[in-house]
Structure 1
Amino acid sequence: MKRPADRRRSAAPTAPEPSPGDAVGLRIEVEVGPPGHGGFCVARHEGRAVFVRHALPGERVVAEVTEGDSKDSFWRADAVEILQASEDRVPAPCEYAGPGLCGGCDWQHASYEAQLRLKGEVVADQLRRLAKLDREVVVEEVGSPFGWRTRVQFAVDPDGSLGFRKHRSHEVVPVEECAIASSGVDEVGALARDWPGMETIEVIAATGSADRALVVTPKRGEQMPYVGADVKVSVLRGVSRHTHVSGVQRIHGRPYVREVAEGRTWRVSGSGFWQVHPAAPDVLTEAVLDFLKPEDGDVALDLYSGVGLFAAPLAEAVGESGAVLAVELDRQAVRDAAHNLGFVDDAEESAEFPWVDLVEGSVEDVIADTGYLPDHADVVVLDPPRAGAGRDVCVRIAGLTPRAVAYVACDPASLARDVAYFAEAGYELTELRAFDLFPMTRHVECVALLEPAQR
């Protein structure tokens, strides 16, 4: 396991509350247009774009402006009265969904079939706008649209009640339940007590094991409370977003949970990244391997490799005559990946997969360093954060002339932009699958296959 420079990421500053503007509270009657990227639909009022939440295409609604100034080119609004409803409209199944309430779900007012269609239209629109590609996108259903979220971070209101923030706001809406939370989250019982002095409470319910964890983050100057739970649970202390420190501290229990996917058990520490939908790891791994078709002896790259979800099956596929380079910036994720990939006691070589090279560092830095990067790669997995990979990474990957790149994306705009960068470097989008791994919300997960353009 390699460790180049010591890189520590400081906590991101807290986003300021948006300035509302002098149009806030104005009620306008609009005809609603297509869905936009962000959980809203686009309408027009006197030449100005209005991004309307809680509306559906084709509806006529009274929209109340929630953000906007008379000089702005667009406003944000909520549909507060439905004058002409879409056939796709349904009563929101959650009492906390609606204008001025919880901002976690975006599409509870749409039938599930409509949600899939709307998300497909958004992905297609981003590809058309940013990558100049005209392609129909079908979003695939994955399990039930409710009770799926295995990791839930609750905000805490001034009285100590748990809830979720309003859309684009720091204001907390207290809740007694969450319709999309898994039963494992519910059984921990965090919602049944108050948490005065706390900033956030994250509940983690592992898939495939009985491991449960609570990450309790006190406000600055506050002490950790005594934590009792309805089930056996590990308790970790989180770090306030108002500090420049990252990581968690174990109070009692394991500092990690054990997740099961691909027939393997994975260690994921604290608030470390793991897909929140229980089916996601298997679904995404299957799609990636199907697209790449790794072969014995291949050289494979796994960039933004996290805890090793894709690196392990890649290593199994390429065998000891092949090689896998996995790159991840987050130090704790690298430690978890080392455990998951068979690196024992900080060893330089994996006991299970000696042909895997695990590097701690930013993908941007490592991929620019010829000391780490091979001269050629056969297959590449690219699973960047929401902001995407960016031009430099895409161009550098293309320069390694892989026969296939599998790009895993949770943001369609970032995906479309990076597809355009790959096109400039001679790679084209040949296959795309989209999965509804975040039902009721605006989010959609895509796996794209990029291959050398036919000339």
Structure 2
Amino acid sequence: MSSAKEDWTGRTFEVEVGPVAHGGHFVARHEGRVLFVRHALPGERVVVSVYEDNGGSFCRADAVEILEPSPDRVEPPCPFSGPGMCGGCDFQHVSWDAQRELKAQIVREQLSRLAKIERDVVVEALPGGPLEWRTRIRMAVGRDGRPGFRGTRSHDVIPIDHCVISRPGMVEAVADRKWRAHEVTIVQDGDGNRHVGEVRGRHTARRAGTGTAVETAAQRKWRISAEGFWQVHPAAADTFASVVGEWAAAEPGQRAWDLYGGAGLFASVLARQVGESGSVLVVESFPGAVEDGRRNLRRMSQVEWVVDKVEHAVKRALPVENPHVVVLDPPRKGAGKVVVAEVARRRPQRVVYVACDPAALARDLAEFTVQGYRLEELRAFDAFPMTHHVECIALLVPETS
């Protein structure tokens, strides 16, 4: 058996591919070591080339030759997809139905392993199909000034002249010229307006468009900074707001918290439910998002804003009165034990958790279980077709309810 410290970088092996893993890789084994393989599928026999080996029990590899293909394998629609190419879309070689099943497997495995929750999961497609959905792009600029996307786990910039998952014309709008910026941002908003910016350090210089994106979701028009956060799939914001509203089910006069509230998408839903006699507290750490939110929800006097990190605010800046409903939409790392414990200590009737990472969701669900809450409902959405990413929304209720 080969030593675990032997450097396999650059070596090739013939392996049989096992299940999908969190992060979109597929698990294979060779001489007692685990290989996390990209561009493969379960059940395939492939030749892999190792591109990263840090000397531990596992290394990372690309499938460079497919000896026995899976029936779920398709020809990638993007010419920039594959080993050594763009690192953005890791499921280009997988049929769309199979992509969603793989994502469901990932969510099920994370729930079982990290939260000890056994639950069937179905990943739902959003309207529009698997291509031409992305409305927000950030492209790196190479040394030659040409924009592109970075390779897998690499700083190399792969020049790109079009992108099959993005709205038509977005990449083409910047690909035909050289840039002096570090990055180029392109946003195509809900009204079809295109906003292009150059990122230099912490600042973005506007090169096209007004810099104010117009979006429609939750029964209203939103005017937000083109550099601010908004869902990249055009159907995602409205879909998620609908599910959050259904599960929050706040009543007139009740108190609701919207933690990691962004520009107030979910707060707007909660505010309509609680009415003028109720209250909605939004906590968001990014001042620009709060500025957008205050402007968009200025007529909803029941909405109050706190500019702070959630983990700080829940311990020192929130009202004495306990909320009836809490909505959580944390970043990829999840809410964490401090936030979960503080939310659970307030004993809300319902917690609606919006998650962009299934492992972080599972860790936080495990902590909610310790704190006396149980998973009541779960839905998963394919908001990022052609990638391994999946969005989940969970409803938690007290164990005694």
Output the TM-score relative to the length of structure 1: 0.84
Match of 1:38 among 10, 18, 23: 23
Deviations 1:331-360 (A, max 9, x none): 111111110111xxxxxxxxx222111111
Correspondence for 1:228: none
1:162 and 1:248, CA in 2 relative to 1: closer, same or farther beyond 3 A? closer
Q: Is residue 68 of structure 1 aligned with residue 15 of structure 2? A: no
Q: Letter of the 1:436 partner, please give it.
A: D
Cα distance in 2 for partners of 1:303, 1:309 equals 11
| SS of corresponding position for 1:215 | strand
1:53-108 per-residue CA deviation (whole Å, 9 max, x = no partner) reads 00000111111001014x31101000001111111011111111111100000101
Letter in 1 for 2:383: L
Shift in alpha-carbon separation, 1:397–1:22, aligned structure 2, 3 A: same
SS in 2 for 1:66: strand
1:376 pairs with one of 298, 314, 322: 322
In structure 2, what is the equivalent of residue 346 of structure 1? none
Of 262-271 and 319-328, the range deviating more from structure 2: 262-271
Q: Which residue of 1 aligns with 2:65?
A: 81
Deviations 1:263-311 (A, max 9, x none): 2111221411100000011110011111121111111000000001111
- Distance change (3 Å), C-alpha of 1:83 and 1:249: closer
**1: CA distance between counterparts of 2:384 and 2:95?**
15
- Whether contact under 8 Å (1:366, 1:373) holds in the other structure is no
The one-character-per-residue Cα deviations of 1:113-132 (angstroms, maximum 9, x if unpaired) are: 10000000001111111101
In structure 2, which of residues 159, 184, 199 is the aligned counterpart of residue 174 of structure 1? 159
1:91 aligns with 2:75: yes
Q: Tell me what 1:108 maps to.
A: 92
User: Unpaired segments of 5 or more residues in structure 2?
Assistant: 1-5
For residues 248 and 383 of structure 1, the distance between their equivalents in structure 2, rounded to whole angstroms, comes to 26
Instruction: Kindly indicate whether residue 144 of structure 2 is the aligned counterpart of residue 198 of structure 1.
Output: no
When residues 210 and 112 of structure 1 are mapped into structure 2, their CA distance, relative to the original with a 3 A threshold, is closer
The whole-number CA distance in structure 1 between the counterparts of 2:346 and 2:165 is 42
Aligned twin of 1:362: 309
> Structure 2 CA distance, aligned partners of 1:172 and 1:331?
31
Match of 1:412 in 2: 358
| Contact 1:140/1:435 (<8 A) preserved | yes
Where does the alignment leave 5 or more consecutive residues of structure 1 unmatched?
1-20, 218-238, 241-245, 343-351
Give, as a single letter, the amino acid of the residue that structure 2 aligns with 1:432. L
1:328 is aligned to 2:284: yes
Distance in 1, matches of 2:45 and 2:372, equals 45
Note closer, same or farther for the CA distance 1:322–1:247 as it changes in structure 2 (3 Å cut): farther
Q: Confirm or deny that 1:443 pairs with 2:384.
A: no
The residue number in structure 1 matching 2:293 is: 337
Distance 1:316 1:122 in 2: 35
1:154 equivalent in structure 2: 139
* Count of residues in correspondence between the two structures: 395
Contact 2:194–2:208, Cα closer than 8 Å, also in 1: no
Contact kept in structure 1, 2:28 and 2:34, CA below 8 Å? yes
Superposed displacement of residue 251, structure 1: 6.5
What CA distance in whole angstroms lies between the structure 1 residues aligned with 2:328 and 2:345?
15
Equivalent-residue separation in structure 2 for 1:122 and 1:136 (angstroms): 11
> Cα RMSD (Å) of the superposition?
1.5
String of CA shifts for 1:246-265, please: whole Å, max 9, x gaps: 45455775332121212211
Alpha-carbon spacing, 1:420–1:48, altered in 2? closer, same or farther (3 Å): same
The 8 Å contact of residues 258 and 265 in structure 1, kept in 2 or not, is answered as yes
Name the amino acid aligned to 2:219: G
Native 8 Å contact 1:150 1:184 kept in 2: no
- Per the alignment, do residues 384 and 247 of structure 1 end up closer, same or farther by CA in structure 2, a change over 3 Å counting? farther
Give 1:211 deviation, angstroms.
Answer: 2.8
Q: Give the TM-score normalised by the residue count of structure 2.
A: 0.95
SS in 2 for 1:158: coil
**Deviant stretches of 4+, over 6 Å:** none
Distance 1:215 1:285, change over 3 A: same
* Preserved contact between residue 198 and residue 205 of structure 2 (Cα < 8 Å): no
